[in-house]
Chain A
Amino acid sequence: MSIQPTPGPPPYQEPDDARRPETPEEPPGGSPQRETQSGPPSLRPARPRWRETLSLLAHNPTAAIASLVLLFIVIVAVFDDTFASEGANDISVDERLQSPSWAHPFGTDDLGRDILSRVILGASVSLKVGFFAVGFALVAGTLIGLLAGYYGKWVDDVLMRFMDMLFAFPAVLLAIAVLAVRGPGSGNTALAIGIVYTPIFARVTRASVLGVREEVYVRASRSVGASDWRLLTRHILPNAAPPIIVQTSISLAFAVLAEAALSFLGLGTQPPNPSWGLMLAEGRGYIELAWWLAFFPGMAIFLTVLCFNLLGDGLRDALDPRQRTLMAGGGK
């Protein structure tokens, strides 16, 4: 692309500064329309031990808190039936548009449904869509990136040009187009978001694979006759994994946001099932009459997305090889 100023070592910063060496390729905010690569693919040290990563993560207060909150949200979403009061989709006209109270901590909506219960049920919908979408993008994108990076030549050209084509599409429109083809609904929303994020995973993986492909241990293994499959699964993928892991966490944040946006437009989850985006859309009409209708689902989206983002940042710090040497070398 262009000549970048050579980074050089950070000589005069206090040692503290380098603790968060943010790579310039941060993930986009509302826009997934960008080239995303994490960390320099060269200089990748031996296989990162997950225990070490976990302990580094635990020492990062923000990431630790984010993980705990996420764990809480996931537990609530998994046991949504237990936490939500029964009949969250039942209409009760007597109780419509009640402001937050002890009986209904988040108030009730225009049909008298308890908003807290619906936010809890919405958590399970949002997370399911998020996990399926990112799962799809992760598997498809990583596979494409692995093949493109490892085999190079025309395989690389064909696969990556196709990814570029998808990438050039405005993300929301691509998702809307997929939903228009497949019809609305949670499953199709997951698929649509998954397709939108596949190119990002393919790029991150490919860049990472290119970095480790010619490492000595890979060549050594090849020279003793290891098969392509063995090389890919035992040597290349594990060593190319850190940026992919970081990307996963960040993509989860965007997937939850995207699900909310699509449901808000009426293309995602369909009523009467609660989804945070759908609840926001329904509450929008009552915003001046009853603010709690739109406020609480929005808070839920915000909190979930924030935690995935913070976790992603924490993971980046923990998995960044420069960071590791620094910490091992006696830094705080």
Chain B
Amino acid sequence: MPGIQERGSTHVYKVNKISKEEMESMVARCVYEDPPFCSAACPLKLDTRAFLKAAAGGDFKKALQLYEKATPFPLILSMGCEAPCEAKCRLCERGDGIAVRAVEAAAARYGQVSKLGSVFRTKKKKTVAVLGSGLFPLFLAGELEKKAYPVTVFCEQENLEAFLHCETEFLDEEAFSLELKRLKGKDIQFFFSCDLDESFFAVQREVFDVLCASEAVAKRLFPQAKMDPGLMLMETEKLVTGIGSGVMAAAFGAKKAAITVDRLAQNLDPRNMRGSEGPVESRLYTDLDEATALSRIPMSGKGYTAEEAADEAKRCIQCHCEECMKSCAYLKHYKKYPGLLSKEIYNNTQIIMGDHQLNKPMNACTLCGQCTVVCPNGFDMAHVCAVARRNMVSTDKMPLAPHEFALMDMLFSNGDAFLSRQQPGFETCRYVFFPGCQASAIAPETVKAAYLDLCERLEGGVALMLGCCGAICDWAGRYEMQDSTREFLLTELSKLGNPVIIAGCPSCRKELTESVGGEVIGIWDVLEEIGLPEGARGLERPAALHDACGARGDAHTQEIIRDLARKLGVELIETDYSGDRAPCCGYGGLTAYANPEVADEITKKALERSDAPYVSYCMACRDRFARQGRESRHILELVYGTDAGTPPDISEKRYNRLNLKRELLWELWREETAEMKLDFDLKYTEEARRLMDGRMILTDDVIAVLNDYRETGEAILDSETGLMIARKRLGNATFWVKFTENGENAFTVHGAYSHRMNVVRREG
């Protein structure tokens, strides 16, 4: 069998790229990072989701800290704001939205005011003066103090209480005294009973770097000047000022004004580099089925108690779009939403020149396409990973190690184990049965029964082709091998007279339809047409139907399988994530070879859906589930009354394919092929067989090592264990076998291991 060459040079022109624009438009489909609707609606950009989470946990200190990021005066804001967040709460669609404002007020009351004020912070050098009173000057002074500017307020009022009373009539006594305390704690200098006229303004113009004023003061000083509401600036007078009335107008105006002050203080254009301001649109998807508490928690007094506020916050469903991560064990394993993971994989393949740390995640995706179905925007992670793999292959940067075993297995299927024959007695056949490599490897008796049945009941003759459809090299991104596999299959099909292909596996059907074209149907289509054969029997217990990822988007196949199951008398259990939403079994995309750990997690996740036996229509699914100890049957096993039994190990899978070919050649075409017989006696300990399966070492590899030992006598003896150890370099790996020799020409294998590095003796 020919080998596959390990990569050599790493300087090959890049092909198979995703363009930057394509990647950006792909990443934009993932709405995970979009803000929740409450935050998006808030002009002050309060992280409402995190705020409610902290409050729900009773952590009002943290809740208040988050709230104070949005405003310097939490009680004033919570009692006076129009609460656009509440109107946008998704719970409104099913019941009462969250009473965000009431929870904010509770946080402002029960949260601790930060004891360490800004007094200890290093102040900025540029100074700012705020003239006037009311909500805008109050909020602006607070915002600027947060930004560490030395702020001085000049007002007409006589004292701090009178200043705070301006435009805050809605505050009750308790709230007023709390906010007064908060104001006193801030590092703001006040001058009271000021006469804010033109001459006063002219004097301060010389003293301060930036001047700000309330709307009333600014209009009085400069009645003709125009004010830009986006910048909160009278540009001709270089005066930052407020506009409009109401708490939110003042709070939002103060935020914008503070940015303008910041830009002016640095002598920069106030129009540039302002970042995102004000409310935004969100595309976030929220699964409202998770919402259970739909009624607002009533208030026992005029505001929430701490406990009531926490209970109300607990009703928040913490809007996050995690539809893909909920269903895909691969994304869950890497704990990254697809937008981010795709960006990282893109950078890994097309930008980064050093280590490729994303090789593993890129090769761990099963390429099954489930994410595209469950994502509200159809994000296609499989496309990203498949293109990345092809790109890595084309630039010669894809390591062979993760996929070599599978690729060699494919070469075996289309080499030693390949068989293509017309039905005995036919010169050309109308059909060719293509059961797929996994069916021959896992359930050879079922394949034989199916073929004999098709030969008997279909008119026009049914040829047989045992081989691989090319899905393996497609999944591995080895596009050149894919081309040669396609050519090979086209030639073989042409020799048969290009019959209609009857695929035994949905993935083969899909792959063959895309690669060789022509008419490709499934054996299920035929069975639906000609009916079940004699001996077909269902299961005694109800069974969960697992849809194959090869049949995703193929409602016709999914429905026929259900119909066949009904006719077999199987009571089917439809699980969550069935049909197009079905998860992969862990075999797809070669995950089982490249990353067995993630593949196991994927299989377990697929099995979480039901405790019942699983019925599938892809042999790889049948095998993966049985390996996890679940009663697992391929629908063809039920149709033909066969039972493939315990899953075979990797060597048995090869033997099964060869043996099926040999048996069929003899029984149907009377062609004799010699059964390969060893000229020595070989036994394996159970442990050795288990290790070999896990380490992907075949009995053929072991035999090659022992044959080499018998020829050369090269081995070592470990006197501690009493085991001999021999080795041979086969393809891209060196295989080591631990064995004992039991008399002449008899060996027992106790263990085996391999490494890909080549080792040689070094002189000098």
A, B assembled together: no
Chain A residues with a Cβ under 8 A of chain B:
none
